[in-house]
Amino acid sequence: MVIDEPLVRCLVATQFPQWAGLPVRPVPNGGWDNRTFHLGEEMLVRLPSGQAYVSQVEREQRWLPILAPRLPLSIPEPLAMGEPGNGYPWKWGIYRWIEGQSSDIGHIASLSDFADGLARFLIALQSSDAAAGPPPGPDNFYRGGPLAKYDQETRKAIAFLTDSIDTDAVREVWDASLATRWSGQPVWVHGDVSLGNLLVNGGKLSAVIDFGQLSVGDPACDLAIAWTLFTGESRETFQTTLQLDAGTWTRGRGWALWKALIIAAGITETNAVEGRQCWRTIEELLADHGRTDA
């Protein structure tokens, strides 16, 4: 589907005439699940790029205003929800623009401070009342749910990569992650804690965006960044501040391993950065698992 500036202008002008005169321009690196556009200087428009992502619009519109006052960092503020129209078949959203740079490693002043800030955000998120929150399911790709959902896919990737990885060590990490369970009450999970969804201002973590996979369940899925971004002191800071049990960190390795393996095996499409990073992530996971067992 072609989602471009003329389409966005038509949708806005038809459904929100008060904003019809504002300029529309695409946001660089505007996301995978959605296409994102500036609307004037203070708003953005996000349109799901496929059927699989449609439910994310209503999820964000429903829950972000409730969660925002409880969190220590800025998150997206929904302003309006659009309806299908002008050949576009799904609901879409308008949000307030959040100033900040994408969390490229070169924009982060201190990776340990960044890790501490992210951990404190996740603590606040996990501490928020989750009684009525949405459960994991196909509409959020089972984030917050059991890793076993991806067992077959992961083993397929391991078999495909036999000549490229230490398959015995990788299976050991994966089997260990499947052997643990979240025993606490379901908590809020972001579902996609990655560099692309974290904003920096003045070198510090300032905002968390893209809550389309938000749910309540097992927080392990939010820990993968411990191995995709953090190393050494910053990883230790992240883990120490969060103070989750060992089993949850083991499942966190599983989430990071699943994603890295399916990217390495070409089972899923991805961007160029993740395509390069997946091999490093696998190495970090195996090394960290070895240190933990020692």
**Which CA distances in Å does 41 have to 61, 96, 100, 180, 239?**
21, 9, 13, 47, 38
Query: CB-side exposure of 85: number of CA atoms within 13 Å?
Result: 14
Contact present, 65 and 128 (Cβ < 8 Å):
no
Query: CB-side exposure of 265: number of CA atoms within 13 Å?
Result: 21
Domain limits, CATH 3.30.200.20, in the chain: 5-96
Contact present, 174 and 254 (Cβ < 8 Å):
yes
CATH T-level topology, domain 101-293: Aminoglycoside 3'-phosphotransferase; Chain: A, domain 2 (3.90.1200)
Q: pTM for the full model? A: 0.94
Level-2 CATH architecture, domain 5-96: 2-Layer Sandwich (3.30)
Span 172-189, pLDDT tens digits:
999 999 999 999 999 999
Domain limits, CATH 3.90.1200.10, in the chain: 101-293
Distance of alpha carbon 281 from alpha carbon 169, whole angstroms: 14
Span 35-91, pLDDT tens digits:
999 999 999 999 999 999 999 999 999 999 999 999 999 999 999 999 999 999 999
Q: Dig out the tokens for 243 from the structure.
A: 């103070």
